[in-house]
């Protein structure tokens, strides 16, 4: 009994920090235990072994995002070797949808956070800009190396996208100017119209406590 | 001094020898004799009913106690951690995404926002996926005095804690030694009797006796585990010249099925005690044991299985097509090897009742000996076995489709979830081919809008949606 009380105290801290409800945190903790094999921390191998994730073309970027220190919002850079439950929750909180009680400023802030998350996913060397090389890498991961679109076409697509961003954000660029890369402001500008609130949200369920009675369960 | 201790010693010896004699007589009378005769005295069912009554009482006490203290008693039962959107194809998902953004170009090509779709799908799979759940033991909602779900064990009242302690004492002090004795008796009888039967010259007699011997030993083993088994639809029991397939939860599945009929087992040759048992069993009836090197050669395996079923006098083969132990909440992919042989398949569904003991063998967590000790110190192993009607491969159906059909029947009968994933994922990683598939799909989404001529074989899902999308794109 004592153990569960201190645990709920710690959960309250996490709830305040990340915005999840207590039930959601308990659920996510159960999932964390499953993924880590009942250890205290998760390593990249634990996440890599999820079969459904293996389907995803950008799985490497997604897994790296969990271990990226920038997503913890504490001003640090670099990456972790292993993460604990608190870090896991912090990354998950990027995907929380706004509730009815969220004010406009909070919604703006949430949106900015989500965009920042995606920006960090592209900007792997953390210099504040997504260079052509970095962008090309992401596009290559998304597209198949064989089949409908070859590697050359993937490069061309990345180049075209960069050019587009450049022309939208720096319209009066001289022919000899070199476009450094997409900064965060440019990134925001490009994706301004995108209705992200529903696209980058995952609805975390609260739980219904159903009681199952011993002896009367259907087996 | 010596004369003082001598009577005490004598008394002690006398007392010990009497109790051992009584113990063994009881054992013999109540367990071994019925096993030999194949008769059940009904003791185990009585035991099960008593246990259930005690559990109910304990649970109601806990509920009362929790209500007084206004606490949440039951572990929250959640059917999922996140609300998943209705499954849509990759194409639909991306189009939905783009529909909301202001397209910067007149022709939809690669969009920077496309990455949102994959990002969200990826994080969803991290939070909740079907496969990882299968390889951890099932969570129990009620309390069965084993405190397997330790969320529920608290000190509610002195009475319950005493009961729990008493339960612990009975399980480890009384039941465990009893069961170990029985298991040892059963296995040694198996070894001795099968070897003896193997010496008989007459083939008919050998078959007849070996059947009896096997059944006898399996019955003793079943009592050694206090397994209370209910067989349903025995008229569908597997016959000679067929293959019996079942879902796999634990190595004990073999004992549970072999208790009711004689099967030929298939497996790798082991060393040690298992190896001895295997060699003894083969002397009296035809089992199929493979050398480790042969297992890799699929044709050899298929040939041996085929030869066995072709001989109608031989017993049905018992195979677990999942290839590994699953935690009895779902059925995973069946390997197609056994379904290629082309004989009648007799599906069997096995479902364990988790209230009395968790039968799942998590081989990464427990070794074999540890697992058996856990099994023998649970209250009981209660399970239901359903014999399903025999199935044959139909015209135009290939082995994989046949396997899936059988799997669906077993899952439906046992109340288990039917999954497409391979049980081998317990240890291995998903092949990169899956990722390639997704990449190809996405590439097609980008390319398909331009090349209309090639559309027919690229987009097979939503031709209408494609057209309307193209029209709207042209209209821009």
Whether B376 and B176 have beta carbons less than 8 Å apart is answered as: yes
Rounded to an integer, the average pLDDT of B28-56 is: 78
Q: What is the pLDDT of residue B395?
A: 86
Q: Looking at beta carbons, which residues of chain B come within 8 Å of A54? A: 429-430, 432, 434-435
- Of the pLDDT bands very low, low, confident and very high (cuts 50, 70, 90), residue A1 is very low
Q: What is the pLDDT of residue B276?
A: 82
Nearest neighbour of A1 by CB, restricted to B56, B129, B155: B155
Among candidate residues B227, B225, B218, the one with its CA nearest the CA of residue B193? B218
Rounded to an integer, the average pLDDT of B422-429 is: 66
Distance between CA atoms of residues A40 and B230, nearest Å: 42
Among candidate residues A189, A186, A19, A13, the one with its CA nearest the CA of residue A106? A19
Rounded to an integer, the average pLDDT of B326-350 is: 85
Asked whether residue B266 carries a pLDDT value surpassing 80, the answer given is: yes
Reported as half-sphere exposure (CB side, CA atoms, 13 A), residue A54 has a value of 17
Whether B152 and B75 have beta carbons less than 8 Å apart is answered as: yes
**A195–B78 C-beta distance less than 8 A:** no
Whether B31 and B186 have beta carbons less than 8 Å apart is answered as: no
| Residue B229: strand pairing partners | B383
- Of the pLDDT bands very low, low, confident and very high (cuts 50, 70, 90), residue B385 is very high
Strands B82-83 and B227-232: unpaired
Long-range contacts of B96-103 (CB under 8 A, 24+ apart): B97/A199, B100/A193, B100/A194, B100/A195, B100/A198, B100/A199, B101/A191, B101/A193, B101/A194, B101/A195, B102/A193, B103/B476
Rounded to an integer, the average pLDDT of B291-301 is: 74
- pLDDT per position as a tens digit, B48-84: 888 878 777 777 777 777 677 665 555 444 445 666 6
Q: State how far residue B115 is from chain A, nearest Cα, in angstroms.
A: 8
- Of the pLDDT bands very low, low, confident and very high (cuts 50, 70, 90), residue B246 is very high
Strand stretches in B26-131, DSSP E: 82-83
Sign of CA dihedral A67, A68, A74, A77: positive
Give the number of other Cβ atoms within 10 Å of residue A203's Cβ.
12
Nearest neighbour of B430 by CB, restricted to A51, A149, A160: A51
Name residues 50-109 of chain B within 8 A of A (Cβ): 52, 55-56, 58-59, 72-74, 76-78, 80-83, 97, 100-102, 104-105, 109
Give the number of other Cβ atoms within 10 Å of residue B362's Cβ.
15
Nearest neighbour of A62 by CB, restricted to B74, B119, B353: B119
Helix (H, G, I), strand (E, B) or coil at A217: coil
**B351–A219 C-beta distance less than 8 A:** yes
Asked whether residue B467 carries a pLDDT value surpassing 60, the answer given is: no
Judge whether B150 is closer than 8 Å to chain A, CB to CB: no
Q: State how far residue A75 is from chain B, nearest Cα, in angstroms.
A: 23
Helices (H), B351-398: 368-376
Among candidate residues B42, B53, B125, the one with its CA nearest the CA of residue B435? B125
Name residues 111-150 of chain A within 8 A of B (Cβ): 118, 121, 138-139, 141-149
In A, minimum Cα distance to B443 occurs at A143
Give the number of other Cβ atoms within 10 Å of residue B43's Cβ.
13
Rounded to an integer, the average pLDDT of B124-134 is: 71
Rounded to an integer, the average pLDDT of B401-407 is: 89
In this prediction the pTM is 0.63
Distance between CA atoms of residues B32 and B239, nearest Å: 28
- Chosen from B119, B135, B429 to mutate, greatest number of chain A CBs within 10 A: B119
Name residues 432-451 of chain B within 8 A of A (Cβ): 432, 434-440, 442-444, 446-448
Q: State how far residue B386 is from chain A, nearest Cα, in angstroms.
A: 13
Cβ-based neighbours of B210, under 8 Å, separated by 6 or more: B194, B197, B284, B285
């Amino acid at each position: 009994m004592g153990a569960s009380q201190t645990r709920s105290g710690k959960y309250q801290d996490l709830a305040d920090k990340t915005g999840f409800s207590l039930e959601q945190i308990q659920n996510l903790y159960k999932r964390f235990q499953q993924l880590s094999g009942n250890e205290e921390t998760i390593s990249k191998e634990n996440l890599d072994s999820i079969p459904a994730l293996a389907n995803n073309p950008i799985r490497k970027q997604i897994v790296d995002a969990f271990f990226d220190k920038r997503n913890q919002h504490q001003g640090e850079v670099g990456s972790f070797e292993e993460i604990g439950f608190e870090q896991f929750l912090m990354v998950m909180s990027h995907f929380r949808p706004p509730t009815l009680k969220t004010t406009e400023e909070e919604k703006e802030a949430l949106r900015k956070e989500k965009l920042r998350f995606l920006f960090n996913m592209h900007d792997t060397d953390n210099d504040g800009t997504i260079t052509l090389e970095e962008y090309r890498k992401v596009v290559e991961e998304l597209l198949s190396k064989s089949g409908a679109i070859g590697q050359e076409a993937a490069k061309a697509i990345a180049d075209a996208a960069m050019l587009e961003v450049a022309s939208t954000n720096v319209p009066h660029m001289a022919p000899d100017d070199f476009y450094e890369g997409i900064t965060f402001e440019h990134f925001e500008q490009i994706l301004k119209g995108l209705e992200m609130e529903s696209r980058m949200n995952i609805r975390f369920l609260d739980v219904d406590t159903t009681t199952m009675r011993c002896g009367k369960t259907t087996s | 001094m010596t004369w003082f201790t001598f009577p005490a010693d004598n008394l002690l010896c006398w007392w010990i020898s009497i109790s051992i004699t009584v113990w063994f007589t009881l054992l013999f009378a109540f367990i071994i004799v019925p096993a030999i005769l194949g008769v059940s005295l009904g003791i185990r069912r009585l035991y099960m009913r008593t246990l259930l009554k005690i559990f109910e009482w304990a649970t109601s006490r806990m509920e009362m106690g929790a209500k007084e203290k206004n606490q949440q008693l039951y572990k929250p039962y959640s059917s999922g951690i996140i609300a998943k959107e209705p499954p849509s194809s990759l194409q639909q998902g991306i189009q939905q995404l783009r529909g909301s953004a202001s397209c910067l170009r007149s022709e939809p090509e690669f969009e920077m926002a496309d990455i949102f779709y994959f990002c969200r799908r990826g994080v969803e799979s991290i939070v909740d996926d079907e496969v990882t759940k299968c390889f951890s033991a099932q969570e129990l909602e009620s309390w069965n005095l084993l405190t397997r779900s330790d969320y529920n064990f608290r000190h509610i009242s002195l009475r319950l804690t005493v009961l729990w302690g008493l339960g612990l004492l009975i399980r480890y002090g009384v039941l465990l030694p009893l069961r170990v004795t029985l298991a040892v008796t059963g296995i040694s009888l198996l070894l001795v009797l099968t070897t003896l039967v193997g010496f008989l010259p007459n083939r008919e007699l050998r078959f007849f006796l070996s059947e009896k011997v096997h059944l006898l030993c399996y019955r003793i083993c079943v009592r050694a585990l206090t397994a209370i088994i209910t067989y349903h639809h025995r008229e569908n029991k597997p016959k000679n010249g067929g293959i019996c397939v079942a879902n796999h939860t634990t190595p004990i599945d073999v004992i549970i099925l072999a208790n009711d009929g004689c099967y030929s087992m298939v497996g790798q040759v082991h060393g040690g005690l298992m190896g001895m048992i295997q060699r003894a069993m083969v002397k009296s009836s035809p089992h199929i044991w493979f050398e480790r090197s042969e297992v890799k050669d699929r044709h050899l395996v298929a040939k041996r299985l085929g030869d066995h079923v072709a001989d109608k006098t031989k017993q049905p083969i018992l195979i677990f097509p999942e290839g590994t132990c699953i935690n009895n909440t779902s059925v995973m992919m069946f390997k197609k090897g056994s379904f290629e042989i082309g004989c009648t398949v007799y599906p069997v569904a096995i479902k364990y009742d988790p209230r009395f003991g968790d039968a799942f063998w998590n081989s990464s967590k427990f070794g074999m000996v540890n697992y058996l000790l856990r099994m023998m110190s649970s209250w009981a192993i209660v399970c239901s076995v359903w014999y399903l009607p025999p199935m044959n491969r139909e015209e135009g159906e290939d082995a994989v489709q046949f396997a899936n059909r059988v799997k669906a029947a077993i899952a439906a009968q046992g109340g288990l979830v039917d999954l497409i994933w391979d049980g081998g994922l317990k240890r291995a990683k998903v092949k990169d081919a899956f990722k390639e598939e997704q990449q190809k799909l996405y590439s097609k989404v980008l390319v398909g809008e331009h090349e209309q001529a090639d559309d027919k074989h690229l987009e097979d899902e939503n031709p209408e949606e494609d057209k309307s999308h193209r029209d709207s794109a042209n209209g821009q």
